[in-house]
Structure 1
Amino acid sequence: MTTEEGSFTTDDGFKLYTKTWKTAGPAVARLVFIHGFSDHCNTYGGFFPTLASRGIDVYSFDQRGWGRSVHKPAEKGDTGPTSRVLADIDGFIKSVLPSPVPLFLMGHSMGGGEVLCFAANGPAETREHIRGYLLESPFVDFDPKSKPSSITVVLGRLVGKLMPKRQMVNALDWKLVSRDQAVGMRIRDDPLCHDTGTLEGLAGLLDRTGALSSGKIRVGKAAGEGGVTRISIAHGTADGICSFAATKHLASQLEAKDKEFKPYEGYYHRLHDEPKPDGENYINDVGNWILARIDKPVEEAAKPKL
């Protein structure tokens, strides 16, 4: 397995940090991965290398406003509106096309909500290249432990209309990230996980969440390659950040021909970062789901290397 760092320039001229985890031999699939709120693509530890060891190349980037895509303090959390977020994702996907092997799109937490929105409303000419979608603890709604007060939301929206680029710290409770408290402390102490959003960006996040939880945004039956929606949704039952119940309800409403909703009993928010062997079990499930949907699974991809 090798890694490659680089950059991607968006259609409006903004430079995003990128990283690729490549398999040692010929790849059998490609995965584009979208990270979550106050996160970046280098926090995923053994997740991406394990997928690469199974023949799956992983392509990811630090979203606008996050990680190494922040070039000055004023850019922290400045994601722009939802239209900008989806345009960045679309542009990055197109940068790895054409793909000689099946292409999958995955998102965690906020990134999972964004992937749902992309599957519902992204450009058809891009979605037709996506073999399947995977969601890890998608942000469909807040868990009660992390839900902001209605007063905070209303005031934030009002001020945001006047000062959309004003920054606001919205710290996640690091104790809810994983049952492995070392993981939570690592996220807490990472300067690139800055917990800062702009009022415009936070409003967009809340709007997407509200539209997903209310059913205003729906993923159709023909959102992927060949006019078929293939989707895997995973969520921990003890997630204290994103609502397990909201994700379960959304999954029950999907009409996809190839649909999987898998609850992970007792898991917290970062399924791949749960204590051994639970984190590894989830990572293996992701690889298995992808490999089951490629044209010719290879024998050497049958067993992960942890």
Structure 2
Amino acid sequence: MATEEGWHEVDDGKKLYTKTWKTADPAKSRLVFIHGFSDHCNTYNTFFPTLASKGIEVYAFDQRGWGRSVLKPSEKGNTGPTTRVLDDITSFLRTVIPSPIPLFLMGHSMGGGETLCYAAQGPADVRKHIRGYLLEAPFVDFSPASKPSVFTVKAGRLVGKLLPNRQMVNKLDVNLVSRDPVVQKQLEGDDLCHDTGTLQGLAGMLDRTDHLSSGKIMIGEEAGEGGVTRIWFGHGSEDGVTDYHAAKKFFDALTAKDKEFKTYKGHYHRLHDEPGEEKKEFMDDVANWILTRSVEPVHTDASKPKL
């Protein structure tokens, strides 16, 4: 398994760090992955190499404001509004389409919320290339353990209108992210996981959760390749960062014929980073869902959900 690093320049001249995990044999599928808040594409440890070993080529990038895409302190967390976030995803996706093999889009946490928004609102000429969408602990709403007060949210929104690029630290509790102390230590000591957002970027993230949890944003039945929405959710029942119940409610409201929700009982937020063999179940589920749909005909309106 080999990796390739590079840079992708988007329309406003901003360069985003990219990394690809290649398969040893000809790839069966491609997966574009969107990371979460205070995260970057090099924290996914064995997850991406495992997918590559199963024939799934992984394409990822450090989002604007995060990871190696930050070239100076003022850029930390400076994601811009939701329109900018989605445009960056579109720009990156256009580098891998048209794809000679089935293409999938997956997001974790904040990136999961962005992926849901993309499935609902992304440009049709790009979404028509996406065979399916996968969500790992998507940020549909805060878990009660992490939810900020109403006063904090309102004050932040008010100040954000006046000072959109003002930075604010929102430290993630690593004890809620994974039960693995090695992973907790890794994230705690990673300077690229800077826990910093701008008021504009944080407001955009809050708007996305509000629109997803309230039903203002919904995904139709024709969001993907062949006019079909194929979508998979994985969420830990003890997630202390994003709300398991909000994600399940969103899923239940979907009308897509090919949809699946997998509950990982007792698991925390980073399902790919849970202790020992427990993460293997999640990785196998993701790989199997992708590979099963990689051999389907494009027009699968009659496909049944695995519930």
Whether TM exceeds 0.5 here: the answer is yes
**TM-score, normalised with respect to structure 1:** 0.96
**Where do 1:88-237 residues align within 5 Å?**
88-237=88-237
CA distance in 2, matches of 1:2, 1:98: 23
Q: Which amino acid aligns with 2:192?
A: L
String of CA shifts for 1:16-67, please: whole Å, max 9, x gaps: 0000000011001000000000000000001000100011100000000000
Aligned to 1:267: 267
Q: How big is the shift at 1:241?
A: 0.4
| Residue range with higher mean Cα deviation, 150-159 or 164-173 | 150-159
**Where do 1:33-44 residues align within 5 Å?**
33-44=33-44
CA distance in 2, matches of 1:132, 1:220: 13
CA distance in 2, matches of 1:49, 1:182: 18
Indicate yes or no: 2:52 matched with 1:52: yes
Q: How big is the shift at 1:184?
A: 1.5
Whether the 8 Å contact between 1:18 and 1:61 is mirrored in structure 2 is: yes
CA distance in 1, matches of 2:289, 2:259: 11
**Where do 1:55-66 residues align within 5 Å?**
55-66=55-66
SS in 2 for 1:145: coil
String of CA shifts for 1:263-299, please: whole Å, max 9, x gaps: 1000000001001111011001100000000127xxx
CA distance in 2, matches of 1:181, 1:213: 31
Q: How many residues align?
A: 297
CA distance in 1, matches of 2:82, 2:199: 13
Aligned to 1:76: 76
In structure 1, the gaps of 5 or more residues are 297-306
Whether the 8 Å contact between 1:176 and 1:184 is mirrored in structure 2 is: no
CA distance in 2, matches of 1:257, 1:95: 29
4+ aligned runs moved over 6 Å, structure 1: none
Q: Which amino acid aligns with 1:147?
A: K
**TM-score, normalised with respect to structure 2:** 0.96
In structure 2, the gaps of 5 or more residues are 297-307
Q: How big is the shift at 1:258?
A: 0.5
Identical-pair percentage:
68
SS in 1 for 2:261: strand
Q: Which amino acid aligns with 2:38?
A: S
String of CA shifts for 1:62-106, please: whole Å, max 9, x gaps: 000000000100000000000000000011001111211000000
Q: Which amino acid aligns with 1:193?
A: C
**Where do 1:228-247 residues align within 5 Å?**
228-247=228-247
Aligned to 1:302: none
Structural RMSD (CA):
1.0
CA distance in 2, matches of 1:203, 1:260: 30
Indicate yes or no: 2:275 matched with 1:285: no
Indicate yes or no: 2:19 matched with 1:19: yes
Aligned to 1:250: 250
String of CA shifts for 1:89-144, please: whole Å, max 9, x gaps: 01100111121100000000000000000000000000000000000000000001
Q: Which amino acid aligns with 2:259?
A: K
CA distance in 2, matches of 1:283, 1:294: 16
CA distance in 2, matches of 1:177, 1:295: 34
SS in 2 for 1:293: helix
CA distance in 1, matches of 2:128, 2:158: 39
Q: How big is the shift at 1:204?
A: 0.1
SS in 2 for 1:191: coil
CA distance in 1, matches of 2:295, 2:190: 40
SS in 1 for 2:262: strand
| Residue range with higher mean Cα deviation, 208-217 or 275-284 | 275-284
